Structure 1
C-alpha cells in the first residue's frame, strides 16, 4: 500500500506519560499510607491510579495525535486507532478559545462534517494556534 509520507506530525510530549505514570505510583503509595486499613480508600486510590496509568499507556502506544500530508489528515480514533480524513471531508479548521478561572484554554477543532476532532496543547506538543496555521498551510488550494 502506497501511503503519502506525512508533511508534519504532532504528538504528546514525552514527559507527559512519564508524569502520569509517576502520578499513578504516587496515588497507590498515598493510598497505602493513608488508607488506615480502610479497603474502600485503598480500592479508590488503586482505581484512580489504574485509570491514570491507562491514560499514560495510551500516550505511549499512540503518541501521534495528528498528522498532515498532501492527501489529508490522520487523526487518533478511540484508544489508539487512526482515522484518515481526506482534504475533501475537512470542512473547517478552527481554534476555540474559552476563558475559565482567569486562564484561557485553546482547543484545535477539525470539523470533518460527520465528525469533530478536538486537540489540546498537550495532545499536540504545540499551541493549537500554531498547529492550525500549519494545517491550513498544508491544505492544497481547491
Structure 2
C-alpha cells in the first residue's frame, strides 16, 4: 500500500512541477494574439518559434518533475523502482504529446531523456537517503540497553 501511495504522490508532484515550469515558460514568452490552445497548428507554431530559453525551461521542468516526483515516490513508497515508474510515465506522456504536436528535434530528444535522467537521479539520491537513515538508526530495545 505504501508503494501505491508513493506512486500517486510522485505522479502528482511530478506533473505539478512540470506544469509549473511550463507556466513560467509561457509567462516568459506569452502566446501570440489570437492564439487558440486547442489548435494543433497554433501549438506547433508556438513550439517551433519560441525562444530556446523558453523551450529549455519547459524541458527543465520535465526533468525536475521526474526528479521531484521520483524522489517523493521513493521516499514515501520505500522502493527505488518507483522513481523509474514516475520517469517512464512522464516520458511516455511527453512522447504522446510530441507525436500529436510538432516540437523541435532537440526538444523531442531532451523531452524523453530528461525525465529518465531525473528518475535515475531520484532513484540514486532517494535510495541513498533511505539507506543513510536506516544506518543511523539506533536500536531502542530496552532489554538490549540493560
Please give the TM-score of this superposition, normalised by the length of structure 2: 0.33
More helix by share: 2
Structure 1 or 2: larger strand share?
1
Higher relative contact order (CA 8 A, sep 6+): 2
